[in-house]
Amino acid sequence: MTTAAPTSFVRDWQEWRRRRDAQLAAPHGFLAVTGLHWLTSTPHRLPDAPGEWQTGPAGVVVTLSAGEEIVVADRPVRHRYEFGPISERGGVTVGVEGGVVEVARRGGRDVVRPRRPDHPLRTGYRGTPTYPPDPRWVRDGRFVPYEPPRPTSVGATVEGLEHVYHALGRVGFEVDGLPLSLTVFEGLAPGLGLSILFTDATSGVTTYPANRWLAVDPPGPDGRVTLDFNRAVNLPCAYTDFATCPLPPPENRLPVAVEAGEQIPYERQPTLPAPAGRGSGEESA
């Protein structure tokens, strides 16, 4: 028998969903990306951004023709702009007419991703299907750190691309008496907790096949952590082909069905309509 979730638990989850959907539907979020362009040393024009773009040892350079401009730190720039070297997983965003352009570095290569608020993927966003919130999927765990952290290569949703993350340790937990563990990486920024990439027995069935992502608060003094799989989310690649998302390490493929968190987006289920009442403002990388 399923026990009804406490009202406060559901209310907190609903507020989290509201914030999550608002993030997804942001004017310049990942649903607004119109292309993924890998730069080379040969200057070339892009179909959805002004100027000719190239990269080299000194970093990305854009050369703008008459009448073209970008906006850098609220300052219009014409003719030519040098971005300089960009760190791995770093990026710079500049303004262009009708949107912005992200200049980033992924897998040792420089990329350009224009973003427009009027992109149909964003304007047509209907929310993301999820499992109902269930306290059963809030699991206690214990974090065991690696000393020192281990650089770990993982694949990506882009063929031939690899990401390197620092594995901070492993988290052990149980599901129905079955002992499980997951490799954990740094959070979105130093000191902001842990992050987990994983798949499970629902992957490719009801959840996105390549990956899901879970944020975890910093461990307590005794290493205790809480894994709330109700807040497991899709990475951008679940919505758009213009993402370079990492894949989980092999040991993070759970043998159980984690029936919690976000499911396959409607955008990847063209034959499945969104439930009535779900919209882009009703309920993260």
pLDDT in tens, 187-203: 876 667 999 999 999 99
Indicate the pTM of the whole model.
Answer: 0.88
pLDDT in tens, 202-246: 999 999 999 999 999 999 999 999 999 999 999 999 999 999 999
- Check residue 272 and give its pLDDT: 45
Rounded to whole angstroms, what are the CA distances from 6 to 9, 133, 140?
Answer: 5, 10, 18
- Check residue 191 and give its pLDDT: 67
Domain boundaries, the chain: 30-123, 127-268
* Measured distance CA(39)–CA(54) in Å, rounded: 6
Q: Which residues of the chain have pLDDT under 70?
A: 1-4, 189-191, 270-285
As a three-state string, the secondary structure of the chain is CCCCCCHHHHHHHHHHHHHHHHHHCCCCCHHHECCCEECCCCCEEECCEEEEEEEECCEEEEECCCCCCEEECCEEECCEEEEECCCCCCEEEEEECCEEEEEEEECCEEEEEEECCCCHHHHCCCCCCECCCCHHHEEEEEEEEEEEEEEEEEEECCCCCEEEEEEEEEEEEEECCEEEEEEEEECCCCCCCEEEEEECCCECCCECCCCEEEEECCCCCCCEEEEEHHHCECCHHHCCCCCCCECCCHHHECCCCCCCCECCCHHHCCCCCCCCCCCCCCCCC
The SS3 call for residue 199 is: strand
Q: With contact defined as beta carbons under 8 Å apart, do 133 and 9 qualify? A: yes
* Measured distance CA(27)–CA(225) in Å, rounded: 34
Rounded to whole angstroms, what are the CA distances from 16 to 70, 127, 270, 282?
Answer: 35, 13, 26, 10
Token digits for 183? Answer: 């490799």
Q: Please, what is the Cα angle at 204 between 182 and 37, to 5 degrees?
A: 90
Distance of CA 26 to the CA centre of its chain: 14
- Check residue 5 and give its pLDDT: 76
The SS3 call for residue 120 is: helix
